[in-house]
Amino acid sequence: MKAEKNNVVSLTYELRITGKDGEVIDTAKENQPLDFIYGSGMMLPKFEENLANLKADDSFDFMLTAEEGYGVRNEENLADVPMNVFQQDGKIEEGLLVVGNVIPLQDQEGNRFNGQVVSLTDETVKLDFNHPLAGEKLYFTGKILSIRESTKQELEHGHVHSHGHDH
């Protein structure tokens, strides 16, 4: 069976930024592999394209450009937000507004997104809304562990059901 639309792919991987010798920033090991429905839109399109037609026990080794990954950094995705936005009952949670922290936010329409604290003044918080990996080349190595057909329920729910999965 091959990595193709609607099949569940289980794999290990190591992700490095900038290239083959770059810093390892994420891994999936055999005891906790990455499982996903191929072609369901959950993975980066170019990631899946590089896995196309691989079979169990096949290895992979490829790099995605920033444009193929999470895009280039966009300075327009930086914003100064008034400090009072982060207050609850007139106070700001201790340790929340620290440079480097990623803060989950929600807009008026209920859309969720993250902003990373870049800097602080007495009145404002500068947040970066770029994806943390925007502007980075992504270098993946790994191995396909198994491939199987998705169940009807997995396709309906849009994700893999593993042991202990419950709704």
Q: Measured in whole angstroms, how far is the alpha carbon of residue 56 from the centre of its chain?
A: 24
Say if residues 13 and 140 touch (Cβ distance below 8 Å): yes
- Environment class of 69 (CB within 10 Å of its CB; exposed 0-12, middle 13-18, buried 19+): buried
* pLDDT > 50? residue 34: yes
In this structure, whether the domain defined by 75-128 belongs to CATH 2.40.10 is answered with yes
Q: Which has more confidence, 92 or 118?
A: 118
In the structure encoding, which two tokens stand for residue 116, read together?
A: 């990373």
pLDDT at 167: 46
- Among the residue ranges 32-36, 62-66, 84-88, 100-104, the one predicted with the least confidence is 84-88
The yes-or-no verdict on residue 58 having pLDDT over 50 is yes
Q: How many CA atoms lie within 13 A of 6 on its CB side?
A: 9
Where do the CATH 3.10.50.40 domains begin and end in the chain? 7-70+133-157
Which CATH number among 2.60.120.260, 3.40.50.2000, 3.90.1150.10, 3.10.50.40 corresponds to the domain 7-70+133-157?
Answer: 3.10.50.40
Question: pTM of the entire structure?
Answer: 0.80
Average pLDDT taken over every residue of the chain: 91
- Predicted confidence (pLDDT) at residue 113 exceeds the cutoff of 90: no
**Ranges for all domains in the chain classified under CATH 2.40.10:** 75-128
